[in-house]
Amino acid sequence: MNLAVEADRDRARLAASAERALREELAAYPKPGLVSHHDSGSHADMTAWHFERSIEALGPYFAAVAQAGAGGAAFDTLRGLGVRAEHAMLRATGGVNTHRGAIFALGLLLAAAAGPDDGALGERVRLRWGDALRRHRGPPGSHGDAARRRHGAGGALREAAAGFPSVYRVGLPGLRAAARRSGDPRRASVQAFFCLLADVEDTNLLHRGGAAGLAWARTRARAFLDGGGVFTPDWERRAVDVHRGFVERRLSPGGCADLLAATLLVDALERAAT
């Protein structure tokens, strides 16, 4: 096969994997406080339609960032592609920020996946761009920036610079154990999400609810897991009860949603490689 054609197919495969991960994240329900095909969660300004439009708009970015990663691009190059992807997202959604965090996380993982195969994807991100990520301050005035300044939270930058430990230590084990036990991809995604929610210092929760809101959210997630998670007959009712509590408090764990999408992407790419 022509090498250029093979490279194009690899980029298309990686881009499709990222789009599929975002669609699976959107379809997972109940995810407390978050938008799904069932409702808009704690968000008055967005629906599942906005997310679908955004995912469609991000396909070219995912292919481009994979191409850049295959060429050994520096972090500044990846960041420039991410900024253009954000503009495409906002055009597609009429100004609604649906996937800024996912653009960042999935973009790095795709760039790593397209490069040399020298370890787990998260470790490749840490080794290739960790120093640049630690130096980068992120967009000033963003919710993540405000949470970092007010609460000392690490947020997405620290997570990526460390090689996505929450994905490998929390998300993937939760997803894979639930998939083996239940045989149901949706239940596995919900279980992985609650595992992340119980563990991660989500800067979106800190922005909306402060330290008390974050603590409340993690406590509710831990109680759901301790009560059997998705492995009880009434799991969906219990998860919906948690979801309604988040909506009442206007809490939205968007950082955990991004990490769920990253978990789904890493899982899919690792399974495809075996």
Torsion angle, CA of 252/254/256/259, rounded to 10 degrees?
170
- CA-based end-to-end distance of the chain: 22
User: To the nearest whole number, what is the mean pLDDT of the chain?
Assistant: 93
Are the beta carbons of 89 and 99 closer than 8 angstroms? yes
pLDDT in tens, 222-240: 999 999 999 999 999 999 9
Q: Place 274 in a pLDDT band, splitting at 50, 70 and 90.
A: confident
**Average pLDDT, integer, range 170-175:** 98
Confidence (pLDDT) at 26: 98
- Alpha helices by DSSP H, listed for 71-164, are 75-93, 100-114, 121-135, 143-151, 155-161
Two structure tokens written together for 161 = 């610079």
Quote the DSSP letter at residue 231.
Answer: G
**Average pLDDT, integer, range 166-177:** 98
Confidence (pLDDT) at 151: 46
pLDDT in tens, 134-162: 999 866 555 555 555 554 556 899 999 99
Residue 131 has pLDDT above 60, yes or no: yes
Dist CA 8 CA 136 (whole Å): 31
Q: How far is CA 83 from the centre of its chain?
A: 17
- Ordered domains of the chain (ranges, CATH): 3-273 (1.10.4200.10)
pLDDT in tens, 100-120: 999 999 999 999 999 998 899
Quote the DSSP letter at residue 33.
Answer: T
Q: Place 84 in a pLDDT band, splitting at 50, 70 and 90.
A: very high
Q: Place 12 in a pLDDT band, splitting at 50, 70 and 90.
A: very high
Percent pLDDT > 70 in the chain is: 92
pTM: 0.94
Confidence (pLDDT) at 9: 86
Dist CA 30 CA 186 (whole Å): 10
Q: Place 273 in a pLDDT band, splitting at 50, 70 and 90.
A: confident
Confidence (pLDDT) at 153: 52
pLDDT in tens, 25-76: 999 999 999 999 999 999 999 999 999 999 999 999 999 999 999 999 999 9
Q: Which of 173, 187, 172 is nearest to 231 (CA)?
A: 187
Q: Compute CA distances 24 → 27, 70, 261, whole Å.
A: 5, 26, 8
